[in-house]
Structures are given as C-alpha cells and as structure tokens.
C-alpha cells in the first residue's frame, strides 16, 4: 500500500489539506496526517484538526510528502528544519513531493527545490522563485514535484496525486465517485 504524509502547520489552508487527504484515502492510499508542532493543528481560519501523529514520528518509507498552503502555515513549514530534512530525503529517494498555493514558493522555492523547474502556485507568489518557471496551469508536474494553485484546484491536485501514486484508472474512478469528473 502506498503511503502519503500530509504535514499540517498552524495556519494551514483547510481545503488544500483536507481535499487531498480525502481523495487519497478514497483511492486506498494510506495517508498519515502529521502535525508540525503537535497532534492538533489550527488552520488559518481557526479550525482545529486532529493529526494522526507529529512529523518527527512518521515512518520514513513514504511514497509522497505533501504540503498544504495557507499563511502563515506555509511560512511555518518553510521555517522548519525537520520539513527541510524530509524534503531532502524525499528528493534523494525520488518520491513525490506535493505542494499547493503558497507552499510551492514559500517552502520549495525558498529552499531552492524549484530552481530551473516549472511549477505553479498562488498568483503573486512566483516573485519568490525567480529561478523557476511559473505556469498558470491548475497542476504542474516537474520531476518528483507536483504543484498546484490553491483552494479552487485542490481537487485536481488530489486527483493528480492519486494518479501518480496508484494510477490513472483509480484517479478516474475516484473522480467519478466524488462527482468531480
């Protein structure tokens, strides 16, 4: 069974976190929601979400490492040495790294992961990644990086992650059953 880690830092965007978790679980992916600073994370709009564990205690054999956007959540992720370590490990192992909204620029871009790559994110954040190539597509895949624009593209982002982890037929089935396509 494929495993995805979704990291929640205080200030995360609710839809960008919950939608991919939901779609991945519908596809049979084991999703571990990991809190950056505890087993509860508070969203940018004050919604408290219980996490399965804390990031420092997740198994190290994940197949996808996913970062929701939102502010200050994306900045909190960017400021974490543990997130950086997990990203470095993910790149070395060639597993999927997903980031949506502010997370591509604030986390991946600030740490040099998007240099020379195509990506997308929330409009205006591209100024933070001068050495990347910003696209306005809903979802962009370049190498092991999967990026998306924001709340309105969260379902497309989740379905692309399903496709990459368990295949296009399963992604189409999940989309159909969730009335997304």
User: Where do the domains of the chain lie?
Assistant: 3-171
Among the listed residues 16, 119, 120, the one whose alpha carbon sits nearest the alpha carbon of residue 69:
16
What's the CATH fold of domain 3-171? Answer: Rossmann fold (3.40.50)
Can you list the alpha helix ranges (DSSP code H) found in the chain? 14-26, 73-78, 81-93, 103, 154-166, 168-177
Span 42-68, mean pLDDT? Answer: 97
Catalytic residue among 51, 86, 101, 144: 101
Instruction: Please tell me the predicted confidence (pLDDT) of residue 109.
Output: 98
Span 48-61, mean pLDDT? Answer: 97
Among the listed residues 155, 151, 102, 154, the one whose alpha carbon sits nearest the alpha carbon of residue 129:
102
**Tokens coding 89:** 């490990």
> pLDDT tens digit string along 80-127?
999 999 999 999 999 999 999 999 999 999 999 999 999 999 999 999
Instruction: Please tell me the predicted confidence (pLDDT) of residue 64.
Output: 98
- Whether residue 52 is predicted with pLDDT greater than 80 in this model: the reply is yes
Q: At a CB cut-off of 8 Å and minimum separation 6, what does 22 contact?
A: 158
Q: Confidence band (pLDDT; 50, 70, 90) for 142?
A: very high
In the residue annotation, 101 being an active-site residue is answered as yes
The count of other CB atoms within 10 Å of the CB of residue 67 is 31
Angle at 141 between CA 157 and CA 57, to 5 degrees: 65
Can you list the alpha helix ranges (DSSP code H) found in 34-111? 73-78, 81-93, 103
- Whether residue 15 is predicted with pLDDT greater than 80 in this model: the reply is yes
Span 147-163, mean pLDDT? Answer: 98
Q: Confidence band (pLDDT; 50, 70, 90) for 181?
A: confident
CA distance linking residue 44 with residue 154, whole number of Å: 16
């Amino acid at each position: 069974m494929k495993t995805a880690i979704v990291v929640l830092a205080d200030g995360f965007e609710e839809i960008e976190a919950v939608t991919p978790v939901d779609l991945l679980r519908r596809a049979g992916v084991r999703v571990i929601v990991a809190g950056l600073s505890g087993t509860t994370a508070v969203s940018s709009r004050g919604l408290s979400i219980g996490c399965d564990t804390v990031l420092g205690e997740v198994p190290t054999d994940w197949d996808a490492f996913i970062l929701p956007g939102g502010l200050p959540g994306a900045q909190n992720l960017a400021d974490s040495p543990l997130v950086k370590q997990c990203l470095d490990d993910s790149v070395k192992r060639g597993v999927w790294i997903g980031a949506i909204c502010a997370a591509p620029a604030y986390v991946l871009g600030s740490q040099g992961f998007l240099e020379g790559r195509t990506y997308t994110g929330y409009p205006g954040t591209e100024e933070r990644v001068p050495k990347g190539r910003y696209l306005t597509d809903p979802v962009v895949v370049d190498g092991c990086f999967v990026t998306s624009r924001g709340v309105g593209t969260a379902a497309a982002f989740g379905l692309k992650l399903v496709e990459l982890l368990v295949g296009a037929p399963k992604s189409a089935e999940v989309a159909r059953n969730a009335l997304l396509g």
